Structure 1
Amino acid sequence: MKNPRKWKKWILPWLTLTLTACGQHTPKSAQPSWPVVRVSMNVSSSFLALPLYVAQNLHLFQDEHIRVDIVPANHSELMISDTVKSWPVLGSLASRPDLFLVAPAPDPHFRLKALDRLPVEYADNLQISLNLLQSIMTLNRTHPYLETVSFKHIQNLWRQRHLPWAIVTLHQFYQLRQQDPHTVILNWLGASTGPIPALILSGHSKNSVPFLRAINLALWYIHTSSPKTIAGILANPQEKSLPQQIAQGLHYGLWPVTTYISPSEYNRGRALYSLTTQDTWPPYYEGVDKKLATQALSAAY
């Protein structure tokens, strides 16, 4: 070699770098061994569970150092449900029922009493909320013949204009309006109830507080961000009307500011359910775990 000094000048650093790289391996980031919170869902409207999905997509559970798995009811620690399965309850993810009476044409003179003794179809996914639905009708002094049918069947009848009305969720209303742009909301049944625990969290878990804390932060995002931003968090491009649905849900007050259930909300729900069922709720001080709910509110983010 003509100039060994020049050769050493560039080959030795390269050789040193190569050997060093071959002898080292970039360590993989270890998966954190966070505790798992097993949650089951028994809901008539997944739209009401929006805070849960926002918390998942914003990784708020990871920020609390927990992992949330959705599992069947018989394997869960916590349950999110329209109806209470165990006492005391820990909080509420929704404060108004997602129940809408829709029609193929507007009727400015319509009143719920007009349904008395008439058949009214409701989507089969709302079967879980039947007691609440009956209570709302009783509260309005009307007693229609409620008949459950599949939403697909409602869509078929709607297309043929064979139904004068139907009870569906807000999301289903938008689906019907896609079929027939003249479809309107005749009555939002949640207007009769006032704020109540409409989607209840119950059960027992060592990590209930961090779970509630993440949901509370998700509720804060829902109430302080634009519907378009929230829809973007959910990342569902097929639902073009999702921002509008979220905006309307906020307008109707479907979601509370926090998961904390106040005595007035609880007692309102307790009185409402007692109209049609003998399974009465216990008094507030027995029915709500205030200690856990308060801890989830007082924690610093």
Structure 2
Amino acid sequence: MNNKKPSAAGRIAAGLLSLAALGALAACETVSTTQAGTIGIDRTQRMSSLVSEAQLEQEAVGLYQQTLSQASTKGQLNPNASQTTRVRNIAQRLIGQVGVFRPDATRWNWEINVIGSSEVNAWCMPGGKIAVYTGLLDAVKPTDDELAAVLGHEIAHALREHAREQASQQVATNVGLSVLAAVTGSQAASDLGGTLSNVMFGLPNSRLHETEADRIGVELAARAGYDPRAAVTLWTKMEKLSSGGGTPELLSTHPSAESRIADLQKASQQVLPLYHPR
């Protein structure tokens, strides 16, 4: 029996083998989550094989139900029936257009709820789990066209699987930590549910993701019968809110107001021929 401790070189070699094995597990594949649409979003994305679409949607169901349960316990779930009806009606019209970008999304189990909170925010989890905060409705006072711009933007994040793209990057980081642990003898662990929660509520979206969501959002709005130019007035309102002290969550990592509005003006004009008021 050999009780000799491995040398430093041996530990490094073992670590490299672990890296190779873990790297194979975390290998990324190049995918196209959506069709380009009129707006022309055709960037291919890299997703980790350890973060499947089905897994992330399953985690989203649990996280969404947990969020709704907490809101319900506090009396904050859909506190105003007319607000909820308005949000759901607008969202349903947008959801009716998602097949333009990805036909499978028409079969998602979409859910739309309003949460009573002063936070100026809205989001859409993987698989179509939507929440709008009353703070957004009360502070911004969006028109229906402007609210469609918000919801279209958030739906676009789900269609493009931006959360999965970010989670894949997180998993890659965790794999690196696991390799380090294999070499040093420390411990490292990853949790897909925790990763999704961090992506949805902790990590900011990249500017590239925000721009893609803006552009797809205006096309969804136009196709649903909402004026895509309202995206410009919406984000102008949001920018004024931030200048009054405290940046709304929806603006926390977005491109500068000037570049964003310029891009939205161009994008809204591009999809304007699709707009037919209802």
Q: TM-score normalised to the size of structure 2? A: 0.29
Q: Of Structure 1 and Structure 2, which has the larger fraction of its residues in helix?
A: 2
Select the structure with the greater relative contact order (CA < 8 A; seq sep ≥ 6). Answer: 1
- Larger Rg over CA atoms: 1
When normalised by structure 1's length, the TM-score is: 0.27
